[in-house]
Chain A
Amino acid sequence: GAVVSQHPSWVICKSGTSVKIECRSLDFQATTMFWYRQFPKQSLMLMATSNEGSKATYEQGVEKDKFLINHASLTLSTLTVTSAHPEDSSFYICSARGGGAFEQYFGPGTRLTVT
């Protein structure tokens, strides 16, 4: 149980375009979802926290107009990278937590390459 999926697993897009990444909790209701970014050989950095039906809370230094997060249902959150640039190329990971639960369950990640 407690499976989180991400789609796509990898995506290549051209500079200036937008790309959407989906995060789904497959077998539980995720009241809270987290989006992380991971650079090569570096740690996961929390980008934002979203609660179902509420606006996301962004970490300091993360541009909310560039990284749009929607958590419209208890099983789906989306991250849209708008007007992507090569420096946005990274590995994006989501995690989800059910109501009252302590543990976060992680998706397998999405590798974004902006050319």
Chain B
Amino acid sequence: GDSVTQMEGPVTLSEEAFLTINCTYTATGYPSLFWYVQYPGEGLQLLLKATKADDKGSNKGFEATYRKETTSFHLEKGSVQVSDSAVYFCARGAQKLVFGQGTRLTINP
């Protein structure tokens, strides 16, 4: 069946470091792709999305590009902040979402 695979965490970085969280998907057709973020004690929030190949989603300094040829949607940020500490979920779908296992990110000052 369709699935999403994320790099295993936890990931710990220093402030201002470059971030990459890998995400690959298997799917029939061309699903929409999403990154969600979950801050402590809060619900999942949509961080960014891309609906077709070569689209780039971006928000709050985070970016991810829909790569059909590599079935990937890696999340990147050039300079992370302590406030970016959270759990990040990659997901695919439209009517129904399929999530990756989540990656816990901790940014140290």
Question: Is A54 an interface residue when CB atoms closer than 8 A count as contact?
Answer: no
What range describes how many residues of B lie at the interface?
10 to 19
Mark contacts of A1-30 with chain B using CB atoms, 8 A cut-off: 1 yes-contact digit, 0 otherwise: 000100000000000000000000000000
Scoring B36, B41, B98, B99 by chain A CB atoms within 10 A of each residue's CB, the highest score goes to B99
Report, as a range, how many residues of chain A touch the other chain. Answer: 10 to 19
B96 and A93 contacting across the interface, CB-CB below 8 Å:
no
Residues facing A in B82-108 (CB within 8 A) are 89, 94-102
Q: Contact between A108 and B43 (Cβ–Cβ < 8 Å)?
A: yes
In the bound complex, residues from chain A placing their C-beta under 8 Å from that of B97 are 34, 44, 46, 104
> Of A34, A41, A93, A107, which one neighbours B101 at CB under 8 angstroms?
A41
A103, B102: Cβ atoms under 8 Å?
no
Q: CB of A49 within 8 A of chain B?
A: yes
**Least CB distance, B40 to chain A, in whole angstroms:** 10
B42 and A108: CB pair below 8 A?
Answer: yes
Contacts A49-B96, A104-B97; is A43 near B43 (CB within 8 Å)?
no
* Distance in Å: Cβ of B21 to nearest Cβ of chain A: 14
**Minimal Cβ-Cβ distance residue in A for B96:** A46
Quick one: which of B52-109 are within 8 Å of A by CB? Answer: 89, 94-102
Whether B89 contacts A43 by the Cβ 8 Å rule is yes
Task: Give Cα distance in the complex from A42 to B44, angstroms.
Answer: 14
For residue B12, CB closer than 8 A to chain A, the reply is no
- Residues B46 and A93 in contact, CB atoms below 8 Å apart: no
Which residues from B are CB-within-8-Å of A109? Answer: 43
Selected from A34, A46, A103, the residue in CB contact (under 8 A) with B46 is: A103
Is B14 on the interface with A (CB-CB < 8 A)? no
Residues of A within 8 A of B100 (CB): 43
* Chain A residue with the shortest CB-CB distance to B10: A41
Closest 7 pairs (CB-CB, A-B): A106-B43, A106-B44, A108-B43, A43-B101, A43-B99, A44-B99, A107-B43
